[in-house]
Amino acid sequence: MTFNDLAAVIKKNKLKVDLTLLRLAYDFACEAHKGQIRANKQKAIEHPLRTAQILAEVSMDESTIVAGLLHDVPEDTHKTLKDIKDDFGSEVAMLVEGITKLGKLKYRGIDRYLENLRKMFVAMARDIRTIIIKFADRLDNLETLSALPQKKQIRIAQETLEIYGPIAQRLGIGVLRTALEDGAFKYAHRKEYDKFTKQISSRQDKLLQIVSKVQVQLKKELNNNNIKVIDCHGRAKGLYSLYQKLLKHNNDINQIYDLVALRVIVPTIADCYAALGVIHSKFKPLKERIKDYIAQPKPNHYRSLHTTVFCDLGDIIEIQIRDSKMHEEAEYGIASHWHYKEAKSCKPEEYLNWVKELAKWHKSKDDRDDYLQSLKIEVFQNRIFVFTPQGDIIDLPESSTPVDFAYHIHTDIGNQIVGAKINNNIVSLDEKLKSGDMVEIIIDKNRKGPNYDWLKFVKTRSARSKIRQYAKPHLWQRLKLKPWQR
């Protein structure tokens, strides 16, 4: 790869990047890495150049792309952060420093990785672009992983699947999440990867041919109904994501309907719903497989209409309908904000509140278990969205309870909860909520505080901490709580 390749991507995506400045950064990095060779026998400059290219492909801003070129300089060369700051400014230096501070601690499972994770969330809270650079850095490293010893391959791949993939998903960056997970899958689970790819390859090929035929039919139908089609294309779902689904369905591949999906991009939200009507008039929809993520976005802000339909020959395919902005957000998540705004004015709080909360953790022996459990729940576990009676969407970890919901609304609501309704049915307070549930909390204003037994089943850190404010130390032994529940 050359600098001209990077410049070509920037011009293609019409990015506001000063190519003269970028060339200076490239020359600076070339000089710093001069004579260095990576394990795959390539010159060291190849890696930061490709990292910068990945950042340009997701349309990041100038400072981020420059920082991508320079991210290995302080740790691997004689040049310092001060040198970078003097030549390229404090913003670029801050981003490079954020990457450098993440360190190179060997991954030995999340339980032994807390300090590195704490640094990561502190860096992310300071500037979210730090983790996006790290994703690009890791994605290129996965491309050259075959040059490393097998033990190191497995360690890096597991770290990617267990740490970086879930964070990318939480930030809604679908295109990077899929690339990271699929790049790591074959190294972390080689036997499963080989078996699974053989299992689905012929099936996916057949479905792609079917999708191609449906694509022609659908574009014609939409045009006949005066619905403009900006884009219409088939896409195979990420391998690792499909593998995870297969495990949930007891390895029955016939239960997975989105091996391949047809994606339809139209101009407006109204066109999305109109297109859904046209599709259902042409193809019979599968019951309970129509999902409106426009009216009810996913916790990571993904929006789209999904429907699963029977094709002419009885085959089943999924169709996703969205407008252009939804498509950008589905592919790039928080990174899509740099497509529409100046980076300095872009601080999308809806993506970052959980990051800032995790960054507040202070190192101490007492709260180590609590922080680890919070990480597993808040970041590395699936999320659900439920509704208040007024229709407000509440984002919670999977398996949350009405008590978690109540404390999310307000501390007083949590302290005074005495009952709950889910979808108008009375339930116990330890009932597990599911996405789409409408939750109503019943309170007693005369109640003075929570029941300490709730600590046995609440999932969120917020609920635990607020319940513990009332608890007495001698209760821990009586309740037989695990350390992270206390």
- Summarised one tens digit per residue, pLDDT across range 460-481 is 888 888 888 876 554 555 555 5
Average confidence (pLDDT) over 96-123: 72
- β-strand partners of 426: 421
What architecture (CATH level 2) is domain 382-485? Roll (3.10)
Active-site position among 57, 76, 367, 440: 76
Q: What is the pLDDT of residue 481?
A: 56
Specify the CATH number of the domain 3-188. Answer: 1.10.3210.10
Domain boundary assignment for the chain: 3-188, 191-332, 382-485
Q: What is the pLDDT of residue 254?
A: 74
**Side chain identity at residue 486, one-letter code:** R
Predicted confidence (pLDDT) at residue 339 exceeds the cutoff of 60: no
Rg from Cα positions in the chain: 25
Bridge-based pairing of strands 425-427 and 417-422 is: antiparallel
Condensed to tens digits (0 to 9), the pLDDT of residues 343-381 reads: 443 445 656 667 776 676 655 444 666 666 666 666 666
- What CA dihedral angle connects 39, 45, 46 and 50, to 10 degrees? 120
Condensed to tens digits (0 to 9), the pLDDT of residues 261-297 reads: 899 999 999 999 999 999 999 999 988 789 999 988 8
Q: Identify whether 75 is a catalytic site residue.
A: yes
C-alpha span between 462 and 394 (Å, rounded): 14
For the domain made up of 191-332, give the CATH fold: Beta Polymerase; domain 2 (3.30.460)
pLDDT band at 303 (very low <50, low <70, confident <90, very high): very high
Helix H or strand E encompassing 285: strand 284-285
Give 430's contacts (C-beta < 8 A, 6+ positions apart). Answer: 401, 403, 456, 457
- What CA dihedral angle connects 174, 178, 179 and 185, to 10 degrees? 160
Q: Identify whether 143 is a catalytic site residue.
A: no
Q: Answer for the pair 84, 70: CB distance below 8 angstroms, yes or no.
A: yes
C-alpha span between 262 and 225 (Å, rounded): 19
Q: What is the pLDDT of residue 309?
A: 92
Condensed to tens digits (0 to 9), the pLDDT of residues 30-88 reads: 999 999 998 888 999 999 999 999 999 998 999 999 999 999 999 889 999 999 999 99
Shared fold status for 191-332 and 382-485: no
Give 336's contacts (C-beta < 8 A, 6+ positions apart). Answer: 59, 328, 329
Considering only CA atoms, which of 201, 204, 199, 210 is closest in space to residue 315?
210
Predicted confidence (pLDDT) at residue 251 exceeds the cutoff of 70: yes
Active-site position among 75, 194, 205, 342: 75
C-alpha span between 358 and 460 (Å, rounded): 12
Average confidence (pLDDT) over 138-151: 92
